[in-house]
Each structure stands twice: as structure tokens, then as C-alpha cells.
Homo-oligomer: A and B are copies of this chain.
Amino acid sequence: MRLKVILPQLDAGGKTIAIINKEDAEELGVYPLDRIVLKKGSRCITVIVNITNKFVKRGEIVVYEEVREMLSLKNGNYLTATPRGELISKQYIKKKVLGKSLGYKEFKAISLDVMERDLNDLELASFITALTINGMSLNENVAMTKVMADMSDKLQFPGIVADKHSIGGVPGDKTSLLVVPIAAAAGLTVPKTSSRAITDPAGTADRMEVLAPVDLGREEMKKVVKKTMGCLVWGGSVELAPVDDLFIQIERPLSLDPLLIPSVISKKKVVGAMSVVIDIPEGLYAKVKTGYEFRKMSRMFMHTGKKLGIRVKCVKTSAEQPVGYALGPSLEAREALQSLINIETAPYDLIQKVTRIAGEMLKINRMGDEKTVVKIWKSGIAEKKMRQIIEAQGGDPMIMPEDIEIGKYSMPIRSVKSGIVKAMNNKILVYVAKAAGAPKDKAAGILLNKKLGSRVRKNDILFTIYAQKSHKFRLASRIAKKEKIFEMR
């Protein structure tokens, strides 16, 4: 069917979508979200079809920016539309829905069609849900990890390449900002990529961005690592797992995470890591709630890593309260930098976590242990390494904690009674920090005064809210006063 192109000058979030008239759709025998092939000259692409009976006339086709670009279309151009047969990947998704296992070939077909944007949102959501409910076997995790790794260009770094990863779930976790320079100072190559915040007030990339640019390309990242043996860059701009980035666009809105293991291990494979330490926080509100779940997940990580030639060590950490005292990019970067400069000023739990994770990284590579970590940290070599990394990424190597600006609006939240802190509600803390503007407003967040086990007297400051914008400040303060965050005994 020949159709005349109408360009609305809108994009479809990367998807290849076209809208046609209802009569034309019936003529083609297609329903909403079916696929049609559009051909112009020698070029042809598959698009997902939307149908209207009002805004697009018969004989017309509205295409969004992605399709316009791929076919170099102009308003009024003509193209040919034909229905596309059933995708084989759709049958594989159905197979998983029906409870059967998938292999490399099938995950590959699905992933390729995801990259081509040929599968629609419904099919992808169905796939992610089926993976969640029916689970991923060891063989499936290995197959999908290989698919993801094979679809990415490998990066090569000199030396003993080691990495760490946290599966998340603890607010205020600035561990990587200390672990990377310490491990690099100890002689490992640590090409660390990390994500921005999704549900938290800050991700590692957001924290590091306060100290130096993090959106480096592949070549820039290579240069930084070659020069300093480490880096702390945003994973998004390095494109370690392009297909995983597309799966995440489906997983995030559903709050489902069935591809955790392939997602983590494939990226480590792509940066050439020989070993990786996985931090698995355990707690009531974390992804892992029991020792049984920890052992199950940690076995899956280890075995999948082994099949990919990566030694994996999983470490169980606590998710019951934030790490350290700061929440929000600037406050956390300041706390991390201060702690790195002077271990005496570092929060106890941050020291524990950093020495544990970095210690495991050294042990697995027979390059030391927790004592080595503390020695390097105290010696000032780690701080120096961090400043080299900051400089190599384009930041100011002389930056001091007090140079980091904090939100000009602040309000202390005081205790209405005395006691000892028995529990704190991470979820509401995060909610308040985000209401205050974090992570978008880097200088916004929360500074805790009390943590679990702290003795509190009436009117003591429990925490202070910081914000850059007055309306967010008012909102955060209102929530903080209303909600119960600290539980005393």
C-alpha cells in the first residue's frame, strides 16, 4: 500500500512508530501494535503501527522522528507499507510465558529484535514479567549474559582488571568513591562504571559528578584508566550493554529486575574484569531479605561469573540504615572526600564497608587484605589516587570538602522525645531527600545527626534538610515534620 508521509515533528522515545488510518489498517489486515514494513527506495524498516480513525486520512501515514531519520523522509514523500509476518522472537517470549526455558539462540533473537525496536512495549513487558515469575535458571542466566556481552564491543585495559558492584537498596552508599581509589592505589586496574540515581537521592555517578565530569565516552574512559588505573564514570555514555539499557526502560516502570545477573556480569565482562566483588545489602526493604535469598543469589552470581571466566565474590552487607550520615549528591561527595582525606573523620559503618569490599577485591587477587586497605587509606596514597582520577576525568584535583556547595536553605528536624534509636525508615528519608530536590538539585539532601543505637535527648537534632529551591525546601520540611522517621526505645 502506497502512503503519503506526514511528519508531526515529534519523537517516540527511540521507538519506531507510525500511525495509519483505520480503513487502511483493515485493508492491510493489521491491528494496533502489529508490525508493518515501510519501504522507500531501497531502504526498508519495520515499525509498530498505531491506528486512528480521525487524525490520519486514508492514504496517509504519520511517522515520528526516528522513522523520518532512518528513511530520510520529507513531508509529502510516498512510501510503501506491507504487513510484516510474525516475529520469531515473539514466539520465544510466548515460550517463556508458558514456563519453558530459553537458550542462547532464543535470547539472542529477542535481544536483536529489542535493539531493532521491532518488539512492542506489551511484548517486552510480558517477557520481563514472565522472566520474573518463571525465574531464570543458571543456564538461562549464562546464556543471556553471553548474549548481552556479545552484543557489546569489549574494552581492554592493562593490568589486573578488578571491579565491584552493589545491587543497591541502601541510601547514602558512597562506598565506591573510596573503594575505587584504594583498590587502584593497591595496584589493581579498576574501570568502574556506575549508574545515576533511579529511586535514590543519589547514584554513584551523581556523587562523582560533584567532583568531576562523569559522562565520558569510551575513548576518554580508556585514557583515564590508562593514566590512573581507575575511573568513576557514568555507564550510560560508555554503552557497555546497549540492549540492557533498553530492557531497563521496561523494568524500571514495572519495578521488576529479572535480568539482574546478566546485566551485572555482562558489563563486567565487557570491561575485561577478571574478578568482581558484589555487594548484596540484606534487609527488610532490600532486594534480598533473608540469608537464604542471599545464598541463592550469591551462588547464581558466582556460577554465572565462572562460566564467563570471572571470579565472583559476594559480600553480604546491611541495608537497615543509610551508609554514613549524608544523603544527596553534594553532601555525599563531601562526606566521601572528607573520609578519604582523613579516616579519623569517616563514619564507622562507611569504614567497615569500604575495608570489607576493597579487602575482598585485594584478597581475591592475592594482593593484600583489609589491613592493606586501611594502610593505603591512612597513608594518603588513596586520596592522591582519587585526585589523579578527578583530574584525569576533567575535575579540579585540588578540591576540598569545604569547596562543595550545600543547599542554602536548611532546617534541623529535632526529636520530640528521648531514647535510643531503634530503627529508621529509609523509605521516608529517601522521600524527604528527593522532595528537597535530590538528585536533580545536587546540593539538596539530608545530613543525619543520629543513627541506629545513638542516644537522643528531647530537642536533639535528628537530621538537617538542605535544599536549593525554596518551594522544594518547604515541601521536604512539611513531609519531614509529618512523617515518623526515627523509632526510639
Closest-by-CB residue of B relative to A50 is B13
Which residues from B are CB-within-8-Å of A103? none
Closest-by-CB residue of B relative to A251 is B122
From 9 to 63 in chain A, residues with beta carbon under 8 angstroms from any chain B beta carbon are 9-13, 19, 26-27, 29, 31-34, 50-52, 54-56, 62
Among A10, A34, A122, A128, residue most surrounded by chain B Cβ atoms (within 10 Å): A122
CA distance A133 to B250 in the complex (A): 19
A130 interfacial by beta-carbon distance below 8 Å = yes
From 424 to 464 in chain A, residues with beta carbon under 8 angstroms from any chain B beta carbon are 434, 440
Asked whether, in the complex, the Cβ of B120 is within 8 Å of the Cβ of A11, the reply is no
Asked whether, in the complex, the Cβ of B123 is within 8 Å of the Cβ of A121, the reply is no
A158 interfacial by beta-carbon distance below 8 Å = no
Closest-by-CB residue of B relative to A10 is B55
CA distance A161 to B65 in the complex (A): 54
A99 interfacial by beta-carbon distance below 8 Å = yes
The answer, among B10, B99, B250, B440, for a CB contact under 8 Å with A52, is B10
Nearest CB of chain B from residue A460's CB, rounded to whole Å: 31
A126 interfacial by beta-carbon distance below 8 Å = yes
From 92 to 132 in chain A, residues with beta carbon under 8 angstroms from any chain B beta carbon are 94, 97, 99, 120-126, 128-130, 132
Which residues from B are CB-within-8-Å of A33? 253
CA distance A52 to B9 in the complex (A): 12
Among A65, A126, A134, A256, residue most surrounded by chain B Cβ atoms (within 10 Å): A126
Which residues from B are CB-within-8-Å of A9? 55
Closest-by-CB residue of B relative to A253 is B33
Asked whether, in the complex, the Cβ of A253 is within 8 Å of the Cβ of B31, the reply is yes
Given A31-B252, A55-B11, A132-B97: A122 and B123 within 8 A (CB)? no
Nearest CB of chain B from residue A32's CB, rounded to whole Å: 6
Q: Mark A186-214, 1 if CB is under 8 A from B, else 0.
A: 00000000000010000000000000000
Nearest CB of chain B from residue A140's CB, rounded to whole Å: 16
Nearest CB of chain B from residue A442's CB, rounded to whole Å: 12
Nearest CB of chain B from residue A320's CB, rounded to whole Å: 23
CA distance A255 to B434 in the complex (A): 40
CA distance A29 to B435 in the complex (A): 9
Asked whether, in the complex, the Cβ of B122 is within 8 Å of the Cβ of A250, the reply is yes
Given A125-B122, A128-B126: A97 and B133 within 8 A (CB)? yes
Asked whether, in the complex, the Cβ of B123 is within 8 Å of the Cβ of A253, the reply is yes
Asked whether, in the complex, the Cβ of A29 is within 8 Å of the Cβ of B123, the reply is no
Nearest CB of chain B from residue A175's CB, rounded to whole Å: 25
Asked whether, in the complex, the Cβ of A11 is within 8 Å of the Cβ of B52, the reply is yes
CA distance A198 to B126 in the complex (A): 21
Could you give 12 example pairs across A and B, Cβ below 8 Å?
A: A10-B55, A29-B434, A31-B252, A55-B65, A97-B132, A99-B133, A121-B122, A121-B125, A122-B125, A122-B250, A125-B126, A125-B129
Nearest 7 A/B pairs, CB to CB? A125-B125, A122-B125, A129-B129, A126-B129, A33-B253, A26-B440, A133-B133
Taking A122-B125, A126-B128 as known contacts, 13 extra A-B pairs with beta carbons closer than 8 A to each other, sorted by chain A number, are A10-B19, A11-B52, A13-B50, A31-B198, A54-B65, A122-B253, A122-B254, A124-B125, A125-B126, A125-B129, A126-B254, A129-B129, A133-B133
